[in-house]
Amino acid sequence: MDNPANYFKTYRLELGFSNQSDAKFFLAAKDITPDIDYAYITLLNERLIKILKNLNKILVGDLKNNDLKLFSEKYITRPYEILKNNDIISKLNNQGRRPEQVLFSWLRGFALVELFKPIFAKLFSIDVALMVNIGDDDLKNIDTFKRTPTADLQIQKNGEIINIEVQTGFQGINDIKEHKVREAKRVSQNNGIKTICIHRDLCINMNNHQNAIFHQLDNFIKHSHSFAMTIFHKITKSAKLVILLIIPTYAKVSHIDIFNGQVAFIRLDSIKDNDINFVTRQQMEGQSVFSIDQNYFKWRLLDALPSLKELGVGL
């Protein structure tokens, strides 16, 4: 009998394929891609606005956003138009999910970060305008629209430079990616930089909405303020402080119900390498993550914003 490999090759040649890759591509119909459903995106964006409105309602006093219409235009409509005009949407992909769903998940995470940015500015007692975007992501370039270990935001407080990295997840499981913890420990050992994780757990039930899960691709548009450029050159190794903000939300089939809003504050650089809270999550593409214990959650979103001193994070 002939070598099976030779027969397989002859068979595929008869079908019109000179190599295995072309045959697999054709048989899986991977060369056929659907057009972007912009009507679907419109509905998703409308749902996102509703999510923000319901979330904004439960915030205490002056923590609320007073102009959600303007906010939505700036942090939903505008970034969506930038991505659309630069042909980024069709290239979005995460474990086979539709680009529309990936876009929605990113916009959802990004908008939540921006909604809470003034709250964290209040926590640090600084002007929100001084929270400078310094991340790597660029909405106009798919090659830089990615996850990196570098910080996204930068502020100055008490003569110190504070770098803030914002990462968003939507799986309803309170985790920190292990590589973020490892990076924090490396920076601490090499440069004496402390790393604090501020983790918001916002459990949201949404009526008739698919649970679209995707890791936020961090930043909106990079800003090169003279303030940031000036203080950057004055940074010393001992004067830097890195803060990791992780804001997970969870979508289930039900109704809008913020039933588990809470915030955790964690010193990442103090986590031991063999900590029992390191686990592997299939929902996180099989990555090793640090599972956040309930004891880390020190602020309930229905309560007033605590002070940094009350958080006990050493700032």
Residues in the chain: 315
Query: Residue 142: what pLDDT?
Result: 62
Task: Decide if 4 is inside a domain.
Answer: no
Three-state DSSP class for residue 282: helix
DSSP assignments along 97-135, one per residue: --HHHHHHHHHHHHHHHHHHHHHHHHHTTS-GGG-EE--
| Residue that the structure tokens 């800003």 belong to | 223
Task: Decide if 8 is inside a domain.
Answer: no
How confident is the prediction along the chain (315 residues), in pLDDT tens digits per residue? Answer: 678 889 999 999 999 999 898 999 899 888 888 899 999 999 999 999 998 998 898 898 999 999 999 999 999 999 999 999 988 898 887 767 889 998 998 898 788 878 888 988 898 888 988 887 766 555 666 665 555 444 566 777 777 666 666 655 555 567 777 877 787 777 777 776 666 666 655 543 333 333 332 233 333 333 333 333 332 233 333 334 444 544 433 222 211 223 467 777 777 777 888 888 888 877 666 788 888 788 877 888 888 998 888 877 666
Contacts of 36 (CB under 8 A, 6+ apart): 89, 90, 99, 100
Task: Decide if 78 is inside a domain.
Answer: yes
Task: Decide if 273 is inside a domain.
Answer: yes
Both tokens of 205, joined, read: 């039930």
Cα radius of gyration (the chain): 22
CB 183 within 8 A of CB 92: no
Which residues partner with 289 through β-bridges?
177, 279
CA quadruple 181, 184, 189, 193: dihedral, nearest 10: -150
Query: Residue 116: what pLDDT?
Result: 82
- Per the structure, the count of domains in the chain is 1
Element (H, E) at 198: strand 194-206
Query: Residue 194: what pLDDT?
Result: 61
Query: Residue 195: what pLDDT?
Result: 64
Task: Decide if 285 is inside a domain.
Answer: yes
Query: Residue 181: what pLDDT?
Result: 79
Q: How far apart are CA 256 and CA 54, in angstroms?
A: 7
Query: Residue 215: what pLDDT?
Result: 35
Task: Decide if 17 is inside a domain.
Answer: no
Element (H, E) at 11: helix 4-15
C-alpha angle 152-76-46 in degrees, rounded to nearest 5: 145
**What is the extent of the structural domain holding 50?**
37-311
Residue 170 burial (C-beta neighbours within 10 Å; 0-12, 13-18, 19+): buried
